[in-house]
Amino acid sequence: MTQNPHHNGHSLHQPILLGNARRGYRGVVQAIDPHRGTSSLQPVELESRLIELGFVEGAKVEVLHEGIIGRDPIAVRVDNITIAVRRREAMAIVLM
Amino acid sequence: MSSVESHPFNLALVGTPNSGKTSLFNALTGSRQKVANYPGVTVERKTGLFTTPGGRVVSLVDLPGTYSLRGRSPDEEITRDVVLGRKSGEPVPDLVLCVADSTNLRLTFRLMLELKATGRPLMLVLNMYDIAMRRGVTVDVEKLSAQLGVPVVTSIAVRKGGTAELLKRTDEFAAQATSPAASDHWRPLSTSELRALQREADRIIADCVSLPARPHTLTAQVDRVVLHPVAGLVILVLLLFLMFQAVFSWAQPVMELISGAFEALGAFVQANMPEGLLQSFLQNGVISGVGSVLVFLPQIIIIFLFILLLEDLGYMARAAFLMDRIMGGAGLHGRAFIPLLSSFACAIPGIMATRVIDNKRDRLTTILIAPLMTCSARIPVYTLIISAFVPAKEVFGWINLQGLVMFGLYTAGIVSALTVSALVKFFMWRDYEPAPFMLELPDYKLPRLKSVGIGIYIRATMFLQRAGTTIFSMMVLIWFLASFPRPPAGATEPAIDFSLASIIGHAIEPVLAPLGFNWQIGVALIPGMAAREVAVAALGTVYAIEGGKEAAEQIGQVLASKWSLATALSLLAWFVFAPQCASTLAVIKRETGSWGWMGVTFIYMFALAYIASLITYNVAVAFGAG
Ligand SMILES: Nc1nc2c(ncn2[C@@H]2O[C@H](COP(=O)(O)OP(=O)(O)OP(=O)(O)O)[C@@H](O)[C@H]2O)c(=O)[nH]1
Ligand SMILES: [Mg+2]
């Protein structure tokens, strides 16, 4: 399954967030916006942690697995490693 | 330089989690520190000495893995402080070895650039080079070294001779090293600096590393099943179930051999030694007491085997992923799963492992409930009572009923741990905001026979050592209490009725009587505060002395004849909860830094134990099992 811009509709107005992506979704990180989502972390801390795990602009991501309750957390392929992260933190990752 | 020769050369291992730092430490120093295939195994600094081929004495320090020097959790702070030389009384490292997993270089390279900015002398170690080569990853080491501006070596920590190059380059470096400057250039990086470093790292990788055209797929294929939302959970439950069944079924033949040997030994002592105090001490104190605990060695080996295999395979991080939201319902963090599963072996390493949890509340809750997980020291108690009271028949054709009861007791531990955690969350931390769960899922690796073997060997020797020290000394005490004062001449009652043990046991009997415990159990529970197995050994001794002539009889059979089923069930319930382990309480004190939390643990577990036993006993009596 590849990214389908038509399927995801108004990508110009409403960016695609990793936190909303379903299993099989592939994309490229466009920006980290730590003010999105509802993480309990301070925005700077959240942003730092995501970068430290390889979520930087241009990184290729793919949602590999979803948890059973609320499809959360998700296991994401970031370039060549796999990271487990909750959706509320993944909301800060804007894709294209 | 003579000043360099006079003190050891200080080397520190730094790197992202799971890159093989501890494997290198073990390979270089010949130690046997814990290695496993998940991030966050090492949570303490460990130091070891070795001599290089060039004859230089090196003091090597192994550190917890970290993605940056920010120090988000207690384990990562240790790494930062050692690297920056902030800990007083700690030598500043002369050289920092930045250890990278060669199949996964992005994050380490960024860390490496951050380390470089501190001004510490650095060397990059491309570890797991065997896996990288197998997958077709090629690294232009010369070019990389030129671009990074630091020496670069490859290594295979788990292969003989795999560290030769590292040693050679360390010697070369040390020969021209100057004393490390204590200057401290480091400050936390801003997010834009972090980004810039990651870009730079990615650029260097693109320049010097060629990745295989086809990505590694085996892990992905296995994960498709193991991380499937439904199948994954079914597999997890089956694995745990298999583990508890195995503890019962597989160990049985060996256990019978061991207990047979001790019986024979006891009979031999009885037959060949003059009757008297020494004979009683050897037969009742040493052989019946310590022997009754040693019998459980095979079961403890099996449980450790399971946990070690899961750890080395790379399953633990997956289990944490599967359980994250489910545990979240009970107010626990997903990362708490690994410490809690380790607590099935022993709560002490489990409590230590909570250091990887960065949120203080999450960590504290996990520490409070870790002792409720069924540790291997409960196995002797459970097994003894189950074998005496539960028939060994098969249900549904293949499930061993005794194994099923064991599984039930493990479940009781898990359920009560989750309940306590949910209550803590509800009453104390209602404003609680879930802390983030972010965890790298490492590629699967085949467990290495040697490392599993060493792991088991270490645990088995630790168990034997405990049997030889704590348990043995407690046994001497109990034998003494149960044998003195001697009965007056011509007394017809069993000798033990005149002893201190009997006096103590009868003194506390009123408190324990509502639980269905007799005075012998009371006597066993007191020294059992030191360690749970001691209770079994103590029962062995007390009943052996009381039994007199039939002392050679197996303790299980004695219990079956002396206790009602209700008493047995009540004692099982007691051991699910009771904080009968001094070392665990000590570790809680150390890790929380407070007597208060230790006290809370002690009191809440005792309260639960008392209530659970009271209910169990009365319900069982009501059903006619009294
Ligand atoms: N094939 C191979 N496996 C390795 C090598 N080095 C380490 N491993 C394996 O990689 C896993 C992680 O090793 P550890 O030594 O525990 O890693 P660590 O860096 O100490 O991890 P943390 O303490 O969690 O930071 C283990 O399963 C090791 O057996 C290597 O050179 N080759
Ligand atoms: Mg380690």
Q: DSSP string covering A37-66, please?
A: S--SS-HHHHHHHHHHTT--TT-EEEEEEE
Question: Does ligand 1 have an atom closer than 6 angstroms to the CB of B130?
Answer: yes
- Please report, to the nearest 10 degrees, the dihedral formed by the alpha carbons of residues B285, B290, B293, B294 taken in order: -150
CA-based angle B298:B352:B187, to the nearest 5?
A: 150
Whether omega for the bond prior to residue A73 falls within 30 degrees of 0, making it cis, is yes
User: Quick check: CB of B104 below 6 Å from ligand 1?
Assistant: no
DSSP B93: P
Position B180 confidence tier, pLDDT thresholds 50, 70, 90: low
Average pLDDT, chain B: 87
| CA-B17 nearest atom, ligand 1 | 25
| Closest ligand to the CA of B75 | 1
pLDDT at B466: 79
Among B402-406, B475-479, B583-587, the range with the most confident prediction by mean pLDDT is B583-587
Does any CB of chain A come closer than 8 Å to the CB of residue B223?
A: yes
**Quick one: pLDDT at residue B2?**
40
**Vertex B54, ends B52 and B57: CA angle to 5°?**
45
pLDDT at A12: 55
Q: Which helix (H) or strand (E) holds A69?
A: strand A60-69
What is the predicted pLDDT for the residue at A29? 95
Residues B283-316 have pLDDT tens digits of: 777 887 777 778 878 888 888 898 899 999 999 9
Which residues make Cβ contacts (< 8 Å) with residue A58, sequence separation at least 6? A28, A29, B202
A→B contacts (Cβ < 8 Å), by residue, are 32, 39-41, 44, 46-49, 51-54, 56-58, 64-73, 75, 79-86, 88-89
Please report the ipTM that was assigned to this predicted complex.
0.88
Q: Using a 6 Å cutoff on CB, does residue B158 contact ligand 1?
A: yes
pLDDT digits (tens, 9 = 90+) for A41-73: 889 999 999 999 999 999 999 999 999 999 989
Give, using CA atoms, the residue closest to atom 3 of ligand 1: B128
Contact of B441 with chain A, judged by CB distance below 8 Å, is answered with yes
Q: Which of B381-395, B435-449, B481-495 has the highest mean pLDDT?
A: B435-449
pLDDT higher than 70, residue B548: no
CB contact under 8 A, B194 and A86: no
pLDDT-derived band at B473 (thresholds 50, 70, 90) equals: confident
Cis bond leading into B434, ω under 30°? no
**Nearest partner of B386 among B508, B454, B467, B296, judged by Cα:** B296
Separation between Cα atoms, residue B105 and residue B207, nearest integer Å: 13
d(Cα B219, Cα B223) in Å, to the nearest integer?
6
Give the tens place of pLDDT for each residue, B185-203: 678 889 999 999 999 999 9
Of A55, A45, A59, nearest to B189 by C-alpha is A45
CATH code for the domain defined by B9-210: 3.40.50.300
Q: pLDDT above 90 covers what percent of chain B?
A: 43
* H/E element, B418: helix B401-428
Closest CA to B448 of B224, B29, B158, B27: B158
Residue B78 in contact with ligand 1 by CB distance below 6 A: no
- Binary contact (B322, A67; C-beta < 8 A): yes
Closest-CA distance of chain A to residue B422, Å: 18
pLDDT of B184 over the 70 cut: no
Q: What is the pLDDT of residue B605?
A: 95
What number does the ligand 1 atom closest to the CA of B18 have? 21
B264 or B87, which is more confident?
Answer: B264
pLDDT tens digits for A20-46?
999 999 999 999 999 987 888 889 999
Instruction: Please check whether residue B262 is in contact with residue B287, taking contact to mean a CB–CB distance below 8 angstroms.
Output: yes
Above 60 in pLDDT, residue A1?
no
**Exposed e or buried b per residue across B366-394, where buried means at least 16 C-beta atoms within 10 angstroms of its C-beta:** bbbbbbbbbbbbbbbbbbbbbbbbbeeee
**Chain A CB within 8 Å of residue B193 CB:** no
State the pLDDT at residue A47: 94
Enter the DSSP assignment of B73: S
| Domain A16-95 superfamily per CATH | Ferrous iron transport protein A (FeoA) (2.30.30.90)
pLDDT at B327: 86
Per-residue model confidence (pLDDT) at position B361: 87
Ligand 1 contacts CB of residue B135 (under 6 A): no
Q: Classify each residue of B336-347 as buried b or exposed e, where b means 16 or more C-beta atoms within 10 Å of its C-beta.
A: bbbbbbbbbbbb
CA distance B196 to A25: 27
Distance B354 CA to ligand 2 centre (A): 15
**C-beta atoms surrounding B487 within 10 Å:** 15
The pTM assigned to this predicted structure is 0.87
Each residue of B346-370: pLDDT tens digit? 888 889 889 888 888 889 999 999 9
Contact A40 B435 (CB under 8 A): yes
Q: How far is CA B416 from CA B344, B410, B419, B476, in A?
A: 14, 10, 5, 35
Closest ligand 1 atom number to CA of residue B38:
24
Which CA distances in Å does A58 have to A27, A48, B202? 9, 16, 10
> What are the domain boundaries of chain A?
16-95
| Contact residues, chain B, for A81 at CB < 8 Å | 104, 106-107, 440
How many of the other CB atoms lie within 10 Å of CB of B545?
24
* Minimal CA separation from A46 to chain B, in Å: 9
Q: Residue holding tokens 């960590």?
A: B363
With 0-12 CB in 10 A as exposed, 13-18 as middle and 19+ as buried, what is B221?
A: exposed
- Pull the structure tokens for residue B57: 């004495």
- Output the pLDDT for position B404: 83
